[in-house]
Structure 1
Amino acid sequence: MLPLTFAGWLLLGTAAFIGGFSKTALSGAATAAVVLAALALPAKESTAVLLVMLLAGDAWALRTYWHDADWRLLGRLLLPVVLGVAAGGVFLGRVDDGVLRRTIGVILLVLLVVGLLTRRHRPGAAEARAYGALAGFTTMVANAGGPAMSLYLLGARYGKLAFLGTTAWFFATVNLALKLPVMIGLGMMTRPVLLTGLVFVPVVWLGAWVGRIVVGRLDDVWFARLVTGFVVLSAVYLVLV
């Protein structure tokens, strides 16, 4: 496994719990997991270890929200997401990471303001594809695809279960079929990284279990408010980091 200090184990354990919680409750919370993992490990290792954790969370989320996805939307997003992930992979090698993060944060804040100003207008097919490409791009460069996807689903007036089911299938597919092969190809998914991530799988599942209980007690209105709040916090963090 990767060498970790006691503080590193605590940070990664907390990141694992939050990552699992985000999969079954509030997707924007995953940004906090990104921050904690980055404090425990160097950038490449933290990104790869977190992906292992998120894949474990995806498995629990799919088990929980198996039948609640909007398949038409997911099919519509397939090509834009692939293009977004590809663009993210290219930019990762050419642009400073700090610049990328701040750019994503500004984009999210702009989209949030636009969404608030056009609350009565539901996004159409073209906007869905644009959000899909943005989600693919941001998840590749900063593990921050949740806020972009959340903004679209909130704007499209998705109910709580449809929101969670669609995001569960969306990120499980992106993480497993797109991000994992890229990281393997870049040599980031090493044996120590994999073993370190697997150690935290029970903590991820504990967070997912707690998230399912919490979200079951929220109505659609409070769910939307909390998701919006996490999007704002994620965007502000990306701008200021």
Structure 2
Amino acid sequence: MQDLIGSPLFWLLAIAGVVLTGISKSGFAGGAGVVAVPLLALIVPVPTAVFLMLPLLLVMDVRTIQYYRRHASWQELRSILPAAVFGIAAGGLLLGTLSDTLMKLLLGLVSIVFALWQRLAPWLGGMRGAGWLWGGLSGLSSTLLHAGGPPVNIYLIARQLPKLTWLATAGIFFGAMNAIKVVPYWLSAQWPLWLLWLSLALVPVALLGTWLGKAIQGHIVDRQFMLCCRFLLLASGLLLLVQALAQD
């Protein structure tokens, strides 16, 4: 813990990742919210980054739901939330069974794929049983890597929801998933108390990120922001792959 507290690089990456995640959650439906874990995983083990982020994600979810809850589509939520629960259960069984090298390799590949998936999203989201497929994958990838945004957004893109409906639906979906994830995380016995205190120290940064997302969502071109986040995600994924391969 002391090494992290005294590391300027950790705080730089943590603040950047948390702010971008907050902006993404309240301004862009979580589409770029997978950036934080790959950034943190450059200097800490993937499980540490994952456990550190969960309380912050819950704070961001609550604030996002407060902003947009009146616009939610409960019909869409009924299509994807049950599948997400199964995905979370599967992810919970895998927690603690994968090596850090394998996790970095997996996260690097997921980051690269998610950074480049935009052109395929409308087609993939329109497949038969898409709600169960992408909802389940979202629950699984969210539990292991906090990377649940891209899978479910593949589905939501194909549904062509209005902007505010998309934001509200995604906010409630992620909020429910992250609340459920507390159970397998706690049962894994890998969540140290000091990491919770570190998460608490970053709560003001999480609130700042969600406030910025709400403030700018109507004043910035989504394409420009997402392009920057995808570039950062792609670069992080490539670095994680290099780290994973260098450890072999």
Cα RMSD (Å): 2.9
Residue 137 of structure 1, CA deviation? 1.3
* Shift in alpha-carbon separation, 1:13–1:107, aligned structure 2, 3 A: closer
Aligned residue type for 1:165: A
Is 186-195 or 35-44 further displaced after alignment? 35-44
Structure 2 stretches lacking a partner, 5+ long: 241-248
Summarize the Cα distance change of 1:40–1:67 in structure 2 as closer, same or farther, 3 Å threshold: farther
2:146 corresponds in structure 1 to: 143
Shift of 1:165: 0.5
Moved more, 135-144 or 226-235: 226-235
Of the candidates 163, 166, 171, which is equivalent to residue 166 of structure 2? 163
Q: In the TM superposition, what is the alpha-carbon distance from 1:88 to its structure 2 partner?
A: 2.4
Q: Does the CA-based 8 Å contact 2:115-2:233 persist in structure 1?
A: no
- Which of 112, 121, 142 does residue 115 from structure 1 map onto? 121
The residue identity in structure 2 corresponding to 1:101 is: L
Alignment-mate amino acid for residue 17 of structure 2 = A
1:32 counterpart = 2:35: yes
Q: What is aligned with 1:13? A: 15
Secondary structure at the counterpart of residue 29 of structure 1:
coil
CA contact (8 A) 2:37 2:46 kept: no
Unaligned stretches of 5+ residues in structure 1: none
Shift of 1:206: 0.9
Matches of 1:227 and 1:166, distance apart in 2: 19
Deviates more, 1:78-87 or 1:230-239: 230-239
Measured after TM superposition, the shift of residue 198 of structure 1 is 0.9
Q: Which position in structure 2 is the counterpart of 1:97?
A: 103
Q: How many residues align?
A: 234
Instruction: Report the equivalent of 1:78.
Output: 81
Aligned pairs (5 A) from 1:181-196: 181-196=183-198
2:56 corresponds in structure 1 to 53
SS of structure 2 residue aligned to 1:15: helix
Runs of 4+ residues over 4 Å off in structure 1: 105-113, 224-240
CA distance in 2, matches of 1:46, 1:204: 15
Cα deviation 1:66-114 (Å, max 9, x = unaligned) = 1121111112222211121222233442573244335545765786444
Contact 1:12 1:36 in 2 (8 A): yes
CA distance in 2, matches of 1:151, 1:228: 16
Q: Give the aligned partner of residue 130 of structure 1.
A: 133
> Is the alpha carbon distance of 1:157 and 1:230 closer, same or farther for their aligned partners in structure 2, counting shifts above 3 Å?
farther
Q: What's 2:182 paired with?
A: 180
* Superposition TM-score, scaled by structure 2 size: 0.80
The equivalent of 1:223 in structure 2 is 222
Letter in 2 for 1:208: T
CA contact (8 A) 2:71 2:164 kept: yes
Paired residue for 1:206? 208
User: Cα gap change, 1:36/1:111 in structure 2, threshold over 3 Å: closer, same or farther?
Assistant: closer
**1:78–1:102 Cα change, 3 Å:** same
How far has the Cα of 1:235 moved from its partner? Answer: 6.5
Partner secondary structure for residue 61 of structure 2: helix
Verify the 8 A CA contact 2:50 2:146 in the aligned structure 1.
yes
